[in-house]
Amino acid sequence: MNHEDESLEQRVQKLESQNRLVKYLGLIFLLLFVSVAARSPKQLDAVAQAHKFELRDAEGKLRAELSLLEGSPALRFFDANGETQSIVADDSFTVFKKGGDIQAAYGANGLSFEDGRDKVFLTLGGREEDQAGNLRINDYRNKIFLTITAEDFAKLHASFKK
């Protein structure tokens, strides 16, 4: 069980690291956009419009893109091979494995980790009505194996105090 906790902690730390990277890249992209707009000889009330903004590396490879994805604004990041690494769209953030399979997703339903074959194996979520969190672990058939609620954690915590 301790090894599983360490593995989960490592995965969460990696996701947090990737999240920070996305924030930094987004900030850099915003600063780049503002600096280009500031150099524009147009009037101050002019508006820049485009269907898509692309960020390319020194070799000309697409590394980030701000565009409409299925009708909603999205910021996508790509690896050096042009494969999607992550997407920030609407109220979600999704991280992909090589090959395009979802590795982790954060959205309205919480944070979930997948096996790359459309099977969610771990979900951290919450219930809006009582604002209580829960941890759900699925088996290999994508059936709920275990759900731990905030009440379960409280009972577990109390049993350790005895």
pLDDT score at 3 = 61
Q: 97: burial class by Cβ within 10 Å (0-12, 13-18, 19+)?
A: middle
Q: What is the pLDDT of residues 79-118, one digit of tens each?
A: 988 898 999 998 888 888 887 788 888 888 788 888 777 7
pLDDT score at 97 = 84
pLDDT score at 15 = 81
The Cα 104–Cα 96 span in angstroms is 7
Handedness of CA 116, 117, 118, 122 (dihedral sign): negative
The Cα 69–Cα 88 span in angstroms is 10
| SS3 of residue 74 by DSSP | strand
pLDDT score at 128 = 72
Q: What is the pLDDT of residues 125-156, one digit of tens each?
A: 877 777 778 888 888 777 888 888 878 877 87
Q: What is the pLDDT of residues 15-68, one digit of tens each?
A: 888 888 888 788 787 777 777 766 666 555 567 788 889 999 899 999 999 998
The Cα 161–Cα 46 span in angstroms is 64
| SS3 of residue 131 by DSSP | coil
Residues in the chain: 162
- Segment 118-122 shows an average pLDDT of 78
Confidence of residue 77 (pLDDT cuts 50, 70, 90): very high
pLDDT score at 41 = 61
Query: What is the pTM (predicted TM-score) of this model?
Result: 0.58
Go through 5-27 and write b for each residue having 16 or more CB atoms within 10 A of its CB, e for each that does not: eeeeeeeeeebeebbeebeebee
pLDDT score at 154 = 79
In whole angstroms, how far apart are CA 139 and each of 60, 97, 103, 127? 43, 20, 16, 22
The alpha helices in 40-143, defined as continuous H runs, are none
Domain boundaries, the chain: 2-118
Strand-by-strand arrangement of the 120-127 sheet = 52-56, 62-69, 72-78, 84-89, 92-96, 102-107, 110-114, 120-127, 132-138, 144-149
